[in-house]
Amino acid sequence: MVRVEVTPSAHEQVLRIMEKQGKTGSALRLYVEGGGCSGLTYGMSFDKEESGDEVAYSSPDLKVVVDKASAPLLEGVKVDFLMGLEASGFKIYNPNAKQTCSCGKSFSA
């Protein structure tokens, strides 16, 4: 089973976005795809279907799912939401990343 930590600020922001987009009750899908400066990029979307994917995080009001191909690359990641003058948005801290680009949106493993 893959483990993902979602900080309270990220949890709250995901629920706000879900409500705004009419996706309440959906799972948050966290995945990795090819691209970016370092070779791999993070992706997040809302999905009603779990398609046999692993549940990586679960609370009464939010479930995070990860596909089997992304699971090894996302093991132990922390999803945070930052709001500041220099940077605002979701930030993923990945202990598996050997290198990350300066924007933090891509990595290599």
| Residue range of the domain that includes 61 | 4-108
Q: What is the CATH number of the domain that holds 76?
A: 2.60.300.12
Partners of residue 99 on adjacent β-strands: 108
Q: How many residues does the chain have?
A: 109
pLDDT digits (tens, 9 = 90+) for 17-44: 999 999 998 999 999 887 666 578 889 9
d(CA 14, CA 72): 23
43, containing H or E segment = strand 40-47
Tokens of 81: 């939401």
Q: Looking at the 3D structure of the chain, how many domains does it have?
A: 1
pTM of the model: 0.83
Q: Are 69 and 58 in contact (CB under 8 A)?
A: no
pLDDT digits (tens, 9 = 90+) for 61-74: 999 999 888 999 89
Tokens of 98: 């050997």
